[in-house]
Amino acid sequence: MLPIDLTGKRALVAGVADDNGFGWSIAKHLIQAGATVCVATWPPALNIFLNLLERGKLDESRRLLDGQLLAFERIYPLDAVYDRLEDAPADIRENKRYKDVGDFTITGLAARVRADFGEQALDIVVHSLANGPEVKKPLLEVSRAGYLAAVSASAYSLVSMMQHLGPLLRPNAAVASLTYMASERAIPGYGGGMSSAKAALESDTRVLAYEAGRKWGARVNTVSAGPYASRAASAIGIIGNMVRYCERNAALPQALDATEVGAATAFLCSPLASGISGATVYVDKGYHAMGMAVDGATVPTFG
């Protein structure tokens, strides 16, 4: 047996606000492998998430293989659009969902981790963050502000997290993010500049792998996950169609499960993947390998 053993490791997973998405599955798999996990949650969703946890509404999803319930070491507020508190406009800082959570910026997150655990506190950082305010708009109709907002929230946020959390990484640390096939192929309906943001994220992964590798000895990879109908993905508007299309046309004609992304990410963050850095790892049932749609087409079948 060759287990994924993360005993003694501490992970920070940014972008967990419910039990329905990839971030939750990744956090759960890391805990299952022995790591302690802190999560960072978007402030407008923070109280709801905490209430669901406290009232036991997520207990079924929290159950581990040994029957125990997973527990997060810390739950931090994070709006990764802002590097420093002074960058957030007054209407955000004074909003009732923000004003009582303290410093919700990336700098604030790094300061809290350092205050709680000291220097060299992290072994694993996972970036499960994406947002495009105009994602339903075709690229030809996207405003400059909407385009830049998508890149800021979905790509630059990883760069900023590395800048501020990098000094807290222990030797042989691992960093992972989540990307999508729209980075390299046109996906009609996935708009708002999100395709550009994912392309930037993949490019930044390669550069950060070099820079963080040389500076801190950290590995940086990204997981290109197939479409998945999480609550967050419902903002796209066509996520159901995306899931069904990939299910019918992937090399493995099955719907993707979040646990498959969680397991692959846990592997990438483990010592078993010590030789992998700067990679885009596809977890999409082989959809990325297909050059022709087979749904309804006259093609050879096997089996």
Nearest to 106 by CA among 179, 162, 39, 44: 162
Q: Domain span at residue 262? A: 10-289
Distances (CA, A) of 44 to 149, 150, 257: 18, 18, 27
Query: Is there a domain that residue 4 lies in?
Result: no
Answer whether residue 80 shows pLDDT above 70: yes
Query: Is there a domain that residue 30 lies in?
Result: yes
Query: Is there a domain that residue 296 lies in?
Result: no
Cα–Cα distance for residue pair 175/205, rounded to 1 Å: 9
Residue 117 is predicted with a pLDDT of 98
Q: What is the residue type of 206?
A: R
Cα–Cα distance for residue pair 255/238, rounded to 1 Å: 16
CATH number for the domain spanning 224: value is 3.40.50.720
Query: Is there a domain that residue 126 lies in?
Result: yes
Exactly one of 190, 210, 245, 287 is catalytic; name it.
190
Query: Is there a domain that residue 298 lies in?
Result: no
Q: How does pLDDT run across 189-211, given as a tens digit for each residue?
A: 899 999 999 999 999 999 999 99
Q: How does pLDDT run across 14-69, given as a tens digit for each residue?
A: 999 999 999 999 999 999 999 999 999 999 999 999 999 999 999 999 999 999 99
Query: Is there a domain that residue 1 lies in?
Result: no
E strand intervals along 128-285: 169-179, 219-225, 280-283
> pLDDT > 90: what percent of the chain?
85
Please give the span between the terminal C-alpha atoms of the chain, in angstroms, as a whole number: 31
Average pLDDT over residues 262-277: 97
Exactly one of 82, 98, 180, 287 is catalytic; name it.
180
Query: Is there a domain that residue 2 lies in?
Result: no
Cα–Cα distance for residue pair 20/14, rounded to 1 Å: 15
Q: CB–CB of 136/191 below 8 Å?
A: yes
Residue 297 is predicted with a pLDDT of 53
Query: Considering the chain, what is the average pLDDT of its residues?
Result: 93
Q: Which residues pair with 12 in a beta bridge?
A: 38, 125
| CA 74 to chain centroid | 18
To the query of whether residue 190 is one of the catalytic residues in this protein, the response is yes
Residue 236 is predicted with a pLDDT of 75
Average pLDDT over residues 172-185: 96
Number of structural domains in the chain:
1
Answer whether residue 161 shows pLDDT above 90: yes
Nearest to 128 by CA among 29, 51, 217, 1: 29
Q: CB–CB of 21/128 below 8 Å?
A: yes
Query: Is there a domain that residue 230 lies in?
Result: yes
To the query of whether residue 180 is one of the catalytic residues in this protein, the response is yes
Cα–Cα distance for residue pair 155/168, rounded to 1 Å: 21
Cβ neighbour number for residue 31 with a 10 Å cutoff: 22
Cα–Cα distance for residue pair 296/4, rounded to 1 Å: 40
Q: Which residue has the higher pLDDT, 299 or 233?
A: 233
Q: How does pLDDT run across 230-263, given as a tens digit for each residue?
A: 777 677 777 788 888 888 999 999 899 999 999 9
